[in-house]
A = this chain, B = another copy of it.
Amino acid sequence: MEDRLPGRPRDPETERRILDVALAELARDGYSRMTLDSVAAAAGVSKPTIYRRWSSKADLATAAIETLRLLEPKVDHGSTVGDLTGTVENFIRSLMRPNGMSLIGTVLAEEGHTPELLRLFRERLVAPRRQTLRTILEQAKKRGELRPDVSLDAAVAMLVGAVYARYLASSNVPPRFARDVVEIVWAGIRKL
């Protein structure tokens, strides 16, 4: 009669909570410091409850990263420069969230041992952000605003990468950094 599945149903909250905690610990402690004991404790479940859902620590970490998604406000200032600046500012804000950079760190550090982490990170976070920027640039190009020979790939890398480099230099990015960067890029790619 009922379309209820047999057996005790899973609490859908639980899954979400475990993943949230896992992601937080992954970012805070790094993959190899993160322990299932502490994930379980922080999520208020037992370890087998985790193992029922994911087959291993790597699997859990992977799933946690998989939940990441670029949920940033669409930027549309009507101008290419405004859009680029808004996007880079969003990016800075997300990197500046607690442990935002550590997550990237652990994902890179684990490339040799748990490569899925980096793969998923690229797929879920890096690629979408690059795509956002690339789309802005491609539309500018279509409108004839850009020099035709310029490398959009390089331009995108510079916009994003400047933030990484700045962080690596000092863990702190000044407010006008986005504008400074976009200004140089824009001057470097626009048609004169």
User: Is A136 part of the binding interface, using a Cβ–Cβ cutoff of 8 Å?
Assistant: no
User: Is A106 part of the binding interface, using a Cβ–Cβ cutoff of 8 Å?
Assistant: yes
Q: How far is the CB of A137 from chain B (nearest CB, A)?
A: 11
A151 proximity list for chain B (CB < 8 A) = 180-181, 183-184
Contact present for A104 and B168 (CB under 8 Å): yes
The docked-state distance in angstroms from the alpha carbon of A1 to that of B118 is 44
Work out how many copies of this chain go into the complex: 4
Q: Given B32, B150, B170, B192, which contacts A30 in the complex, CB threshold below 8 Å?
A: B32
User: Is A77 part of the binding interface, using a Cβ–Cβ cutoff of 8 Å?
Assistant: no
Tally chain A residues at the interface, Cβ within 8 Å. Answer: 57
In chain B, what residue has the closest Cβ to A28? Answer: B112
A101, A168, A189 — most chain B CB neighbours (10 Å) = A168
- A residues with CB within 8 A of B: 7, 28-33, 46, 99, 101-102, 104-113, 118, 122, 126-127, 130, 147, 150-151, 153-158, 160-166, 168-171, 177, 180-181, 183-189, 192
